[in-house]
Amino acid sequence: MEIDPLLLAQLQPGLSTKADVLRVLGVPTRNAVIQDREAWIYDYSLEKHSVLFLGLYNEERKTMRQRGVAVLFADDRLYDYVFME
């Protein structure tokens, strides 16, 4: 699952609360401290499938990329969010 940018657009730094973030994004994958601020991390994976046709031989490859969004808080308010790879 990928984080929809339209969902993030509903959250406003300085105005949105932790309750707002929970309502819009759901429960975070994990918690952390980033830039000396409480952070909620939402991890997701991007899958890419490819099939190679080499004569009579077919090979399917699946690659995964871990990504995420860190939502940073100042007290109970959204401070900022950053994308992670």
How high is the pLDDT of residue 71? Answer: 96
* pLDDT tens digit sequence for 18-71: 999 999 999 999 999 999 999 999 987 656 666 666 666 666 666 656 688 999
Torsion of CA 10, 13, 19, 33, to 10 degrees: 120
pTM as predicted: 0.73
Amino acid at 26: G
C-beta atoms surrounding 17 within 10 Å: 14
Provide the total of helices (H) and of strands (E) in the chain, helices listed first.
2, 4
5 has a pLDDT exceeding 70? yes
